[in-house]
Amino acid sequence: MKFTDNNLIKIAEKVESGNRLDYEDGLMIDNSADLLGVGHLANIVRERINGSAAYFISNRHINHTNVCVNSCKFCAFSRKAEDDDAYTMMIDKVLEEAHMHDGENFSEFHIVGGLHPTLPYSYYVEMISSLRGEFPNVHLQAFTAVEIVHLSMISGKSTRVVLEELKNAGLGSLPGGGAEIFSNRVRKKICPEKIDGKEWLAVHKTAHDIGLNTNATMLYGHIESAEDRVDHLLLLREAQDRSGGFLTFIPLAFHPRNTAYEEIGRTSGVMDLKMIAMSRLMLDNFPHIKAFWIMTGEKLAQISLSFGADDLDGTVVEEKITHAAGATTNQGLTKQRLEELVHEAGRSPVERDTVYNVVGIV
């Protein structure tokens, strides 16, 4: 490959010989205008780790409440209890929502919500055990690290005990939300009430210690710098070296509509692809990089399968968080459509469950 950015030549040598990239390499990648060069290198790593497989999952998102005690500036989803469009689903409503998809073959519920001011700890344990009872074969990926700390605070139990009790009730893994950007400087501005990066990492470490896999995310395209993004990825890579329980990394493009940062505008296609590629290159110990099509759009998610991503997430069906912030993508995609996107990209579609067991090869 002929690089138009000479800085990539040194990085290519490291990638080809399987050597780890460092902070300076990360900054060069982030600053590089040679998108095809960066994508080419990420594709080498992607194919080394995952061949031509492109994973997807048949899943359903449930957001049990939009009421939240925090007011993160990038969030268009949360409401205060007194707002007209605030909602909270009691357990029977959560089950009703879950049962709306009876008869469809799906393998995961992805459940996240706001930090509700008054719902008791028992609500969360009961939600998980009721879903487990009624859907014994569906994996329950629920509650971000931020929610786990909230449950710890309202119950007076440690995060370890909360995780153990939820696991005993049927929790299968934690989603990757709430990581945002670990930089304290940025976090103080965009989500001052939220747990800091250290606490987020500590919850994931505890989850890994008790045998729960987790995902990780990074929210980019707001007020963070290239340095903040590279730091974030390196902190995740160190954490993964220590505990090894992360399955997937998902870079999340900031959607500004209805947030305090409307003036920032949406991320560019170049930035979105570069974040996918940079994640694949820096996170050499993460098995999977996900292009969450709901955030990137179907078209870019499809192209990202040649820029480092090996996963498109899933059928989803109903998504509230990004759509509150102006996402114009569909709320869900059929399995058939996901398979078409993958085939057309020259990849091999593989339906997976949450922990990447193969459900079917198409």
Q: Which residues bind ligand V47 (CB under 6 A)?
A: 74-76, 112, 175-178, 180, 215, 217, 219, 248, 250, 252, 254-255, 259, 292, 313, 321-322, 325
68 touches ligand SF4 by CB under 6 A: yes
Q: Does 72 bind ligand SF4 (CB under 6 A)?
A: yes
Q: Could you say whether residue 50 binds ligand SF4 (CB under 6 A)? A: no
Separation between Cα atoms, residue 256 and residue 260, nearest integer Å: 8
- Of the candidates 45, 54, 75, 190, which one interacts with ligand SF4 according to CB under 6 A? 75
What's the gap between Cα 56 and its chain centre?
A: 14
Minimal distance, residue 89 CB to ligand V47, in Å: 18
Cα–chain-centroid distance for residue 30? 20
**Burial of 154 by CB count in 10 Å (0-12 exposed, 13-18 middle, 19+ buried)?**
middle
Of positions 42, 115, 327, 338, contacts ligand SF4 by CB under 6 A: 115
Q: Which residue is nearest to ligand V47 (CB)?
A: 177
Of 65-73, 88-96, 157-165, 308-316, which segment contacts ligand SF4 by CB under 6 A? 65-73
Helices 91-99, 121-134: crossing angle, 10 deg rounding: 30
Which of residues 215 and 329 has its CB atom nearest to ligand V47 in the complex?
A: 215
Query: Which residues contact residue 85 at a Cβ distance below 8 angstroms, ignoring those fewer than 6 apart?
Result: 66, 79
To ligand V47, the closest distance from the beta carbon of 258 in angstroms equals 8
Cβ neighbours of residue 268 closer than 8 Å, sequence gap 6 or more: none
- Residues in the interface with ligand SF4 (CB under 6 A) total 12
Q: Distance between CA atoms of 93 and 117, rounded to whole angstroms?
A: 19
Measured in Å, how far apart are the chain's first and last C-alpha atoms? 32
Q: Please choose which of ligand V47, ligand SF4, none residue 259 contacts, taking the beta carbon within 5 to 8 angstroms, the exact cut-off set by kind.
A: ligand V47
Residues of 291-328 as b/e, b for ≥16 C-beta within 10 angstroms? bbbbbbbbebbbbbbbbbbbbbbbbbbebbbbbbbebe
Give the range of 64-72, 220-228, 239-247, 249-257 binding ligand SF4 by CB under 6 A. Answer: 64-72
Positions that interact with ligand SF4 (CB under 6 A): 68, 70-72, 75, 77-78, 114-115, 146, 191, 194
